[in-house]
Amino acid sequence: MDTKLQHKELFKLWIQRKGNHSNINSELAASHNLLSLYTMEATTLLLLSAVIIAAFLFLSSRHPKKMRLIKLTEKLPGPTAYPIVGTALPFMLVPRHERLKLLEDHMKTYQQIYRIQIGSVLAVNVWQPEHAEALLSSMKNLDKSFTYKFLHSWLGTGLLTSTGQKWHTHRKMITPSFHFKILEDYVEVFSEKSKILISKLQKEVESRGFNVYPYITRCALDIICETTMGTPVHAQEDLESTYVSAVYDVSELTVQRIVHPWLHPGFLFKLSPCGRRYNKCMRLLHDFTDKVWNGTAYYCGKISEIKRTFTGKKKRVAFLDMLLDASEGGAMLTDEELREEVDTFMFEGHDTTSAGMCWALYLLGLHPDVQEKAYQEQESIFQGSNRSVTMRDLSEMKYLERVIKESLRLYPSVPGVGRTLNEDVKMGEFTIPAGCMVHLHIYFLHRNPTHFPNPEKFNPDNFLPERVAKRHPYAYIPFSAGPRNCIGQKFAMLEEKTVLSYMLRHYRFQSLDRRENMKVVAELVLRPENGIRITITPRVTGTK
């Protein structure tokens, strides 16, 4: 094509384009008009919504109950509350492991009690034994604080999160599953799983330092699934447990949600990156519990099948069996309710004990003198024998019990609990009104120098009977207290003793991180952010 022709074609094209452009321009102008119309409407809508929200907030703040709550809590000391964030801002800005330090600063500043505000929600933080008693011994104040609602998509309203008649009925139904006689059967499983743990750790003997946390967690998961659910999951064979890492993530995300008030409404949380991560975890967690759930053969409708154990040995009554029986007989529990309890016990029953055992190992690994004493006690009970642990042996482990109690004092697996008051509670000179949330910080309660002189020192003798007898009954409550205390308390102590007994008899261990360097995160469970690094050396045992 010659160049003149080329220019002509190009000119035509240009004219065409220009025409199109003018069309586009006129379209643009029209859409611009439409846009300004929309913008005006959107602005009006936004303004209208803002007025409605402001009116709602104003009217609800004028509600007599809310007015009373504000009036009474106004008298309490506390940090300055800002619009939207309340007093939560510093907690949003620091890394996870520094939140505990912020709480400690508040505790030192306000001495006894203080008021906080998360978004528009008022709460009171306490950590004195007298306040703990006033809160926990009440038969009326049994409702959990609103923060537990953030666990509903995971645990539903199982025993930990339910209230009212549902909680009462389920508590009554589940309590017999933790009877002494049934726990006695469980000890066999504790021993079985501890033996696997010891053999799995063998490969770390040469290691110059490793994180013991995942080993202990998987052992605890094996224990809870086989005892309460009656289903073996062989978690100790699976090095990468997606269930365990999803539990950690959910724990972190729940606290993120609590401290960011705009993540409180469900629909906003779902849209946020935090919420999307949370939903992914939910699928993993529920998939895992589905497997456990299906393992009970419930869906086959053959309750009797559950009555035999999977190992073919004599029957052990799992708590799930009891619930299923109760449901069958009295049609009391729906499928949904049973699922909620499976999720609740799987979580509460393994995450808390893993943390407890790991902190105990950590402290024993820092204090060789205490470790040696605990080992000598084991030797005096087993005298070198490698036989399984019995209930009687466990009752003789008095010193180990003191070690565990002291570890739970310094590092309580559940660092705090919360309630929403149904009736006023008097705390010192203040009346905390019905409707108010109260957080009890067990972590700080256990560090009260009046009840534990030199509170940061690891000293198992704090639990010598004569010292315990002189102490305020609410000065040490790792399992909470009153009607909503931990249903698995005895189970937990027996499990911890068994696993630690095996650890002590088979290995000498040393902790590699000093206490001042540990990054402690106080979320649903009190965890070391980077695990527990130890070295292990085999002991000569089990020769008889």
Q: Which residues bind ligand HEM (CB under 6 A)?
A: 159-160, 171, 228, 344-345, 348-349, 352-353, 356, 408, 413-414, 417, 478-480, 484, 486-488, 491-492
> Please, which residue, 73 or 480, has the CB nearer to ligand HEM?
480
Question: What CA–CA distance (Å, rounded) separates 276 from 264?
Answer: 14
Question: What CA–CA distance (Å, rounded) separates 280 from 110?
Answer: 40
> Please, which residue, 85 or 136, has the CB nearer to ligand HEM?
136
Closest residue to ligand HEM: CB criterion: 488
Question: What CA–CA distance (Å, rounded) separates 416 from 2?
Answer: 86
Are 350 and 221 in contact, with CB atoms under 8 Å apart? yes
Q: Provide the edge-to-edge strand list for the sheet that holds 121-126.
A: 113-118, 121-126, 437-441, 416-420
Question: Smallest distance, Å, CB 489 to ligand HEM?
Answer: 7
Question: Smallest distance, Å, CB 245 to ligand HEM?
Answer: 20
Question: Smallest distance, Å, CB 480 to ligand HEM?
Answer: 4
> Please, which residue, 116 or 221, has the CB nearer to ligand HEM?
221
> Please, which residue, 72 or 374, has the CB nearer to ligand HEM?
374
- H or E element, residue 121: strand 121-126
The reply, when asked if residue 486 is annotated as ligand binding, is: yes
Question: Smallest distance, Å, CB 80 to ligand HEM?
Answer: 29
> Please, which residue, 349 or 365, has the CB nearer to ligand HEM?
349
Question: What CA–CA distance (Å, rounded) separates 316 from 313?
Answer: 9
Sort 308 into a burial class: Cβ within 10 Å, 0-12 / 13-18 / 19+.
middle
Beta carbons within 10 angstroms of residue 207's beta carbon: 12
Are 326 and 205 in contact, with CB atoms under 8 Å apart? no
Question: What CA–CA distance (Å, rounded) separates 244 from 248?
Answer: 7
Question: Smallest distance, Å, CB 395 to ligand HEM?
Answer: 18
Report phi then psi at 369, rounded to 5.
Answer: -65, -45
> Please, which residue, 210 or 215, has the CB nearer to ligand HEM?
215
Dihedral sign (CA 230, 236, 239, 240): positive
Question: Smallest distance, Å, CB 474 to ligand HEM?
Answer: 13
Cα dist from 150 to 258, 271, 345, whole Å? 8, 15, 17
Binding-site residues from annotation: 486
Binding-site residues from annotation for heme: 486
